[in-house]
C-alpha cells in the first residue's frame, strides 16, 4: 500500500503546483502504445523468492471530458518471471497480463507539459507452470505520468503499480510511449 500512497501524494502535488492558465485543450479521444520495463517482487509463494524484471508492451485509449478529468482503459502485458523454487530447487515460471479502467486527473504545469495521475481497477490474469494454476482477480491500480504535447502526437512517461494478488506479487511498470489525440 506504500506505493499507492506515493502515487496519490505525487498526483496531489501535481495538482498543487499546476497552473490552469497554461492548460492546452486536452479534451477528446486518444489512443496510445508503450514499451514497458517491469520489475516484480514477491517473497511469499511457498518459499519462492521473486525479484525479477522483464520488458513488455501496453496499449491504452481514453476520453478526456475536460482538460482536467478523463477516463482511460487499456491492456498491459505484465511480463514473465522466473524464480528459484523451494528446497527441491524447482524453477517457477509466472506470466501475468490484464485489462484496466481508470479515472484520469490531468494538470498542465507548463506550455506543452502535462502531469497526470490515474486510479482504477486492473483485471489481472496470471498463471504459472509450477503449480499449474490460472488465477484471475480484479485489483486496485494506480499510476502517475508526465507527457509532452507536440500537437496531435504526445510522448509520455509513466509509472504504474499493479498488485496481481498472486501470492503477493506486485509489479512496478515504467512506460515510455506515444499517444495520439483525435
Q: Give the integer Cα–Cα distance in Å for 86 and 135.
A: 21
DSSP-derived pairing of the beta strands 170-181 and 153-163? antiparallel
Residue-wise pLDDT for 54-94, tens only, equals 788 999 999 999 999 999 999 998 877 776 555 455 666 77
* Three-state secondary structure call for residue 176: strand
User: How many CA atoms lie within 13 Å of 142's alpha carbon, on the beta-carbon side?
Assistant: 15
Contact 171, 164 (CB under 8 A): yes
Alpha helix locations (H) across the chain?
A: 2-17
DSSP-derived pairing of the beta strands 91-110 and 28-42? unpaired
Q: Please tell me the predicted confidence (pLDDT) of residue 118.
A: 96
Q: Give the integer Cα–Cα distance in Å for 62 and 77.
A: 18
* Three-state secondary structure call for residue 168: coil
Using pLDDT thresholds of 50, 70 and 90, give the confidence band for residue 13: low
Using pLDDT thresholds of 50, 70 and 90, give the confidence band for residue 103: very high
Q: Please tell me the predicted confidence (pLDDT) of residue 126.
A: 76
DSSP-derived pairing of the beta strands 50-64 and 28-42? antiparallel
User: For the whole model, what pTM was predicted?
Assistant: 0.76
Q: Please tell me the predicted confidence (pLDDT) of residue 22.
A: 47
Using pLDDT thresholds of 50, 70 and 90, give the confidence band for residue 19: very low
| Residue matched to cell numbers 520495463 | 37
Q: Which residue has the higher pLDDT, 39 or 23?
A: 39
Residue 21 has pLDDT above 50, yes or no: no
Nearest Cα neighbor of 58 from 157, 126, 128 is 157
Residue-wise pLDDT for 119-169, tens only, equals 999 998 877 765 656 677 788 889 999 999 999 999 999 999 887 766 567
Amino acid at each position: 500500500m506504500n506505493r499507492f500512497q506515493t502515487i496519490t501524494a505525487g498526483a496531489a502535488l501535481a495538482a498543487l503546483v499546476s497552473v490552469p492558465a497554461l492548460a492546452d485543450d486536452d479534451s477528446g479521444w486518444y489512443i496510445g502504445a508503450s514499451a514497458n520495463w517491469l520489475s516484480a517482487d514477491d517473497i511469499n509463494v511457498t518459499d519462492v523468492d521473486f525479484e525479477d524484471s522483464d520488458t513488455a508492451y501496453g496499449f491504452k485509449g481514453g476520453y478526456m471530458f475536460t482538460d482536467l478529468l478523463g477516463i482511460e482503459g487499456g491492456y498491459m502485458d505484465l511480463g514473465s518471471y522466473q524464480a528459484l523454487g523451494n528446497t527441491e530447487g524447482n524453477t517457477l515460471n509466472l506470466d501475468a497480463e490484464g485489462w484496466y479502467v481508470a479515472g484520469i486527473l490531468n494538470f498542465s504545469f507548463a506550455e506543452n507539459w502535462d502531469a497526470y495521475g490515474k486510479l482504477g481497477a486492473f483485471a489481472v490474469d496470471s498463471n504459472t507452470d509450477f503449480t499449474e494454476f490460472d488465477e484471475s482477480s480484479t485489483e486496485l491500480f494506480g499510476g502517475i505520468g508526465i507527457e509532452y504535447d507536440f500537437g496531435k502526437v504526445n510522448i509520455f512517461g509513466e509509472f504504474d503499480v499493479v498488485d496481481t494478488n498472486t501470492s503477493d506479487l506486485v509489479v512496478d511498470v515504467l512506460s515510455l510511449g506515444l499517444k495520439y489525440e483525435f
